[in-house]
Each structure stands twice: as structure tokens, then as C-alpha cells.
Amino acid sequence: MSILVVRHGQTAWSLSGQHTGSTDVPLTEVGEDQARHLAPVFVGRDVAAVLVSPRQRARRTAELAGLASAPGGLQVDPDLVEWDYGAYEGRTTEEISAELGRPFSVWHDGVEPGDTPGETVHQVAVRARSVLRRAEGLAGPEGRDVVLVAHGHFLRVLLATWLGLSPTAGALFALEAGTWGALGHEHGRPVLDRWSVPPAG
């Protein structure tokens, strides 16, 4: 089995570096092109299911990548939403650092409540573990592929969780917009096969 992960294509906020959790921003034209060029990744693969975040940037990426034709279509999974950034929603790391008077890292400093409560990295990891359990169940005894279409920080936490690391280790695995990765096994142990692979074309 491989779990294929896809970060949605570029948005205006991913381009500017703004933390994008609950805000439902659309893809840019570049993001839509990135999504279309992801389609060859899935050609010839035995895909059992596609789980997608409810945010439009993820759903549109999945549609343009041709994943809606997978068995069961696109299955919206609320656990795949991005980290809830609370008061830091829509703000850049540079802006938050300037306000705090020191370098800020969402991975180690966490977030403050705002219009939404915010989440700790460990709360995000709880959702990631739930998604991984569902993905492994959907792969079945045949070990078919499952595709997850979601968001940068969430998928980095998911990778750390898959590898048995602290969720804060997600800080080490940069994942560009419009790229994909593959989580698999080697000798029965979870491994990272590919990461932040750009689309063809």
C-alpha cells in the first residue's frame, strides 16, 4: 500500500505566506495549472479511495487532477482540514514575529485563540492518526493506494505521525503547494518514499 498525499495548488495566501486554516480561499490560475499537471501521477495506479479536505482549494485540486473518477469519487473528510491557527489566521510568520519581538514558529510556539479556538500541534496529530487509520482500512488486504488531498501543515504533521516521530518534527518536512508525496513501507516499517514532488509539465 502507498498513501499518496497531495498539497492543494497555489492560492493567493500560500503565495504570500499567510497562515490559511479555516479561510476558504480559491486556487490561483497557477494553482489550477499545478493541479491539472498532477493528473499523470495517478495514471495506472490502483487507487482504492480519495479522501479530500472540505476546503475548496483541496476539492478543486482533486477535481482538476482527475481524481473524481476514482472508486467512490471524492470522499470529503473533515479531519483533513488545515491546522486551526486561531488569532494567527491570515497572518504571516514575519508579521507575528515582529509583533512578538522574536522569531515565531507555529511548530514550537503554537497559536492563540481568535475567531476560532486554534489547535495545538498535538491536536492536529490526533486528526492525522484518525485519517491514517481510515486510509489503511480503505486500502484493504490487497494493499491498494489511497490518496489524501489536503494542506501543507496538516500533511507535514501526518508524515511525522506516520514515521512515529513527534508531530513537531513536521517542521523538518517542507511541502510546496501543488506537490505530492508517497508514504509506504519497507520491511514492514513505515517509510517516506517521495516528498514535495512537483507536477509534470
Which of the following is catalytic: 29, 32, 63, 82? 82
Torsion angle (degrees, nearest 10) of CA 107, 74, 55, 25? 110
99 is catalytic: no
pLDDT in tens, 56-65: 999 999 999 9
Q: Is 8 a catalytic residue?
A: yes
Q: What is the pLDDT along the chain (201 residues), one digit of tens a residue?
A: 899 999 999 999 999 999 999 999 999 999 999 999 999 999 999 999 999 999 999 999 999 999 999 988 999 999 999 999 999 999 999 999 999 999 999 999 999 999 999 999 999 999 999 999 999 999 988 889 999 999 999 999 999 999 999 999 999 999 999 999 999 999 999 999 999 999 875
Give the predicted TM-score (pTM) of the model. Answer: 0.96
